[in-house]
Amino acid sequence: MDKAIVISHSSRDNEFVSKLCQAMESQGLYNWVDSSHLRGGNELTAKIHETIEKARAFIVVISSDAFNSAWVADETRHAARLRENRRENYPIIALLREGVELGALKWIFSKEPVAIRVKNDLSGIRIAMPHIMAALGEPSLINDLRDTDETQIEPLEELVLELRSAHMRESDGRRRAAAQAELTYIPASFKEPRVRGTRVFLFTSPLGPIEIEELRWYLERYYLWPTGIFRTRAENVEKKLPEWGHELYREVIPEMSSANIVKAWKAIDSLAERRFTIFVDSRPDRGVRGEWDEADEAAALLLGVPWELIHDGDDYLFHGARSVRARRRLPKG
């Protein structure tokens, strides 16, 4: 996963890293790679090195168990060498678990990285998150740290739609915002594995300027004069809402790549708190000025898609007393 954050750690720190990733995702950092998922033989060593080289940052969890991990040592040394040779910024962050002192960094680093002490529980990780975000060069959503150790993250069942390489696409005379998409289900319990779609797919917004303008008129202006021809226009919009919502559903949850996610999502307890996050990365694959302009336009349109309309053929995703909350996110810069 290009431009991801690589997290290196001992397998005995898996539970801690699951909590860390939960906290990172609460801050909008969904694009990360757990190096332990790539480990194995010599071929995979090369794969890990390649992933670290393509990453935008490297986090190493330093614990008593990490000292006994040859993998962690190798990955960290590779990241340190990479940072010395890179011209652009490449943050390396050492998270010191309880019982580990700063002197331990000499075990692996010739030049000390950013070091952040982290308590083992979830509230301790939350306290450390603003410092981790700052070290990554990211804005933190946690602005007030008072009483943070008393704060608990409410368990959330979450669907995350990552939209990357945003661009404009023309088909059948229609110009629509599109992006490479990946759908992931993140269970509320960090002990349960996340469920990813079986493949990356192309998302193309089924709603264009005409549909968006009709919806905007219906929501923002119809109430000012709800009679006569305006009533007829409103009725036409109301008839279209389920159709637009179902078109959006088919684009977001393609049957060929998301059947496993749909199965897991339908098994959620009806009383569980649920959220749908749309993460839009407007950065194009290449740095041509015109592509950046088009990517910005496409990203703005993707963020403006009325995601709350999603309709699975039976009901709206965001309807009801225990409905799904929508959240739109952009990366920094």
The domain spanning residue 89 has which CATH number? Answer: 3.40.50.450
Same-domain pairing of 161 and 125: no
Cβ-Cβ contacts under 8 Å for 198 (sequence gap 6 or more):
256, 257, 258, 259, 260
Q: Are strands 157-171 and 274-280 parallel, antiparallel or unpaired?
A: parallel
End of a domain among 129, 150, 171? 150
Residue 95 DSSP one-character state: E
For residues 280-302, average pLDDT: 74
Q: Retrieve residue 159's tokens.
A: 């669907």
Q: Are 305 and 179 contacting, i.e. CB atoms less than 8 angstroms apart?
A: no
Same-domain pairing of 40 and 188: no
For residues 265-288, average pLDDT: 75
Distance CA 267, CA 282 (A): 33
pLDDT at 178: 93
Q: Are 8 and 60 contacting, i.e. CB atoms less than 8 angstroms apart?
A: yes
Same-domain pairing of 145 and 161: no
This prediction's pTM:
0.57
pLDDT at 24: 86
Residue 321 DSSP one-character state: T
At residue 228 the predicted structure's pLDDT band, cuts being 50, 70 and 90, is confident
Which percentage of the chain shows pLDDT scores above 90?
A: 24
Q: Is the pLDDT of residue 153 over 50?
A: no
End of a domain among 118, 150, 182? 150
Same-domain pairing of 163 and 270: yes
For residues 287-297, average pLDDT: 69
Same-domain pairing of 245 and 306: yes
DSSP string, 220-234: HTGGGS-SHHHHHHH
End of a domain among 88, 120, 150? 150
CB atoms within 10 A of CB 64: 14
SS3 299: helix
* Amino acid identity at 226: P
Cβ-Cβ contacts under 8 Å for 31 (sequence gap 6 or more):
1, 3, 4, 5, 162
What total number of domains does the chain contain?
A: 2
For residues 20-44, average pLDDT: 76
Same-domain pairing of 144 and 276: no
Same-domain pairing of 310 and 286: yes
In a 10 Å sphere around its CB, with 0-12 CB exposed, 13-18 middle and 19+ buried, how is residue 313 labelled? exposed
Q: Map tokens 């007393």 to a residue.
A: 321
Same-domain pairing of 9 and 139: yes
Same-domain pairing of 132 and 16: yes
pLDDT 10s digits, 166-225: 999 987 788 999 999 999 998 887 678 889 999 999 999 999 888 989 988 988 888 788
pLDDT at 181: 94
Range of the domain at 58: 5-150
Q: Is the pLDDT of residue 278 over 70?
A: yes
Residue 304 DSSP one-character state: T
pLDDT at 250: 92
For residues 295-299, average pLDDT: 87
Same-domain pairing of 146 and 171: no
Same-domain pairing of 66 and 84: yes
SS3 97: strand
Q: Map tokens 């933190």 to a residue.
A: 140
As a whole number, the mean pLDDT across the chain is 82
Same-domain pairing of 85 and 199: no
